[in-house]
Amino acid sequence: MENPFAPELLIEERGPVRIVTLNRPDALNSANEALHGALIAVWRHLAEDPGARAVVLTGAGRAFSAGGDLAHFVDLWDDRAQRRHEIDGARKLLTEILDFPLPVVAAVNGPAVGLGCNLAVTADIVLIGESAFMADPHVGVGLTAADGGAPTWPLLMGMLKAKEYLLTSERIPAQQAVALGLANRAVPDAELLDQAIALAEKLAAQPPHAVQSTKRALNMHIKRAVAGVLEYALAEEFSSFDTPEHRDLVNRFLERSKARAAKA
């Protein structure tokens, strides 16, 4: 099938497996508007591919995805219509992933942060490179952890651990991500994509109706748990862009970034 999402999102056919690659390597695959829109739309596109039976999701370069662009947050402070559009997009992205019928294997090849982390852990099976890490830093930049962390993490790792990592924004190394339940296993970096493709091929060889209906049944647990939490958390995230602590934290981060760039 034609790929309408290039260059931000690449789709490679490998027999019945589709390899979907976030493709902004110079920006560590952080989600600009084009990539975020592609990530929302790609799932229905793949569901309509008659030859597809499983998907591998990964990132180009040295990151899976660094999440949102902090410099772009400044634009959302005054442009409330655009902010509403992006908050609505976060809801759509999670909904589209949970409704996607084919099995998805995430190959987390580097940092998976914020949106990137929650994109990874909503896959059906998660393989993570040994040098990679996960993190949801929403709280650390003064935002409500809405688009995956607060709604889904308690289901994956338990409430107390979810509170610890969401409220502190701490990084979660690969082996710890496995121990917590955010990933199935850690594998050597050089073997990550090959192992993910092999696993996707195994899933693709399973009876498709049984695979898809079982996945749908399992995701009902997530959808029921997420339903009320997501709406509250997204509304709070929208409001948290207006708080002085968020704006102060972002401005300080951007100033440090400019200072490092000036020294380089």
pLDDT in tens, 170-192: 999 999 999 999 999 999 999 99
Determine if the peptide bond prior to 7 is cis (ω within 30°): yes
For residue range 98-138, list pLDDT tens digits in order.
999 999 999 999 999 999 999 999 999 999 999 999 999 99
Q: With a threshold of 0.85, does the pTM exceed it?
A: yes
Where along the chain do its domains lie? 9-190+206-263
Burial profile 175-214: b = 16 or more Cβ within 10 angstroms, e = fewer = ebbbebbbbbebbebeebbebbbebbbebbeeebeebbee
The DSSP code sequence of 3-48 is -TTTTTEEEEEETTEEEEEE--GGGTT---HHHHHHHHHHHHHHHT
Pick the CATH number of 9-190+206-263 from 3.40.1020.10, 1.10.10.10, 3.90.226.10, 3.90.79.10: 3.90.226.10
Average pLDDT over the chain, rounded to whole? 95
Q: Which DSSP letter does residue 249 get?
A: H
Cα(260)–Cα(256) distance, rounded to whole angstroms? 6
pLDDT at 247: 96
